[in-house]
């Protein structure tokens, strides 16, 4: 964010409209939907921060529209990872809002998705930029190494679980083998005594 907006100056809103741009100093009408407003806020926060003057319009004539407080409240509910300061002001008997959006430390989400500004409009953040923003694109060799380690560990877990199954089978067979051995010994002893075989 390059500059601070001084709202104590008379007619600051007109000055804001004259110096508005498509990057960090936007004007939006009061008719914007809460979802669209949240997308603009997310896009500005994912860039360098900035301002939105809500309830202003320009073109063939500039002016102001009364902004319902519910619009700002609903917008805030759709945001995640955004630090935003809202102040209400009166311009030509209309309530307008100045939204100061701080730069996000990680990712700012609007309605569950991150946005960036492109040609003055919020667009979904591209995958490559998303990876860089999350810090995953910095060292892909580290990611590959971790992936290999996870693969090796899961192979080891599979091997150990198979070994455990085999040992479990043997454990269940021990009582049967003992009974079989005892019966074999008993039969052998009986046959020896019946046939008078001396050992």
The side-by-side arrangement of strands in the sheet containing 113-118 is 79-80, 109-110, 113-118, 121-124
Phi/psi of residue 27, nearest 5 degrees: -120, 135
pLDDT level of residue 139 (50, 70, 90 thresholds): low
Q: Which residues contact 105 (CB under 8 A, 6 or more apart)?
A: 81
Do the beta carbons of residue 56 and residue 26 sit within 8 Å? no
pLDDT value at 160 more than 70:
yes
Q: What is the Cα–Cα distance from 136 to 115, expressed in whole angstroms? A: 18
Helix axes 69-78, 34-46, angle to 10 degrees: 60
Q: What is the Cα–Cα distance from 7 to 160, expressed in whole angstroms? A: 68
pLDDT in tens, 72-100: 999 999 999 999 999 989 888 889 999 99
Stretch among 64-73, 121-130, 152-161, 164-173 having the lowest mean pLDDT:
164-173
pLDDT at 1: 47
Distances in whole angstroms, Cα of residue 177 to Cα of each of 165, 171, 192: 18, 10, 22
pLDDT value at 197 more than 70:
no
Q: What is the pTM of this model?
A: 0.64
pLDDT value at 56 more than 70:
yes
- What are the residue ranges of helices labelled H in 47-118? 69-78
H-helix or E-strand containing 86? strand 84-91
Do the beta carbons of residue 153 and residue 146 sit within 8 Å? no
Q: Which of 115, 118, 114 is CA-nearest to residue 22?
A: 118
């Amino acid at each position: 964010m390059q500059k601070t907006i001084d709202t104590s100056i008379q007619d600051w809103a007109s000055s804001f409209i004259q110096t508005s741009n498509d990057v960090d100093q936007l004007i939006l009408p009061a008719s914007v939907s809460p979802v669209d407003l949240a997308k603009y806020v997310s896009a500005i926060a994912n860039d360098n921060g900035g301002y939105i003057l809500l309830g202003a319009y320009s073109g063939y004539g500039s002016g102001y529209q009364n902004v319902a407080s519910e619009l700002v409240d609903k917008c805030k509910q759709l945001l995640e990872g955004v630090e935003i300061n809202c102040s209400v002001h009166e311009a030509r008997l209309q309530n307008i809002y100045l939204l100061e959006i701080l730069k996000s430390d990680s990712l700012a989400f609007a309605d569950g998705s991150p946005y960036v500004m492109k040609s003055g409009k919020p667009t979904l953040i591209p995958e490559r930029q998303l990876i860089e923003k999350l810090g995953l694109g910095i060292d892909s060799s580290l990611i590959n190494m971790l992936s290999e380690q996870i693969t090796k560990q899961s192979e080891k877990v599979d091997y150990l679980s198979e070994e455990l199954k085999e040992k479990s089978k043997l454990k269940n067979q021990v009582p049967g083998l003992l009974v079989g051995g005892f019966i074999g010994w008993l039969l052998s002893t009986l046959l020896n005594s019946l046939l008078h075989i001396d050992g």
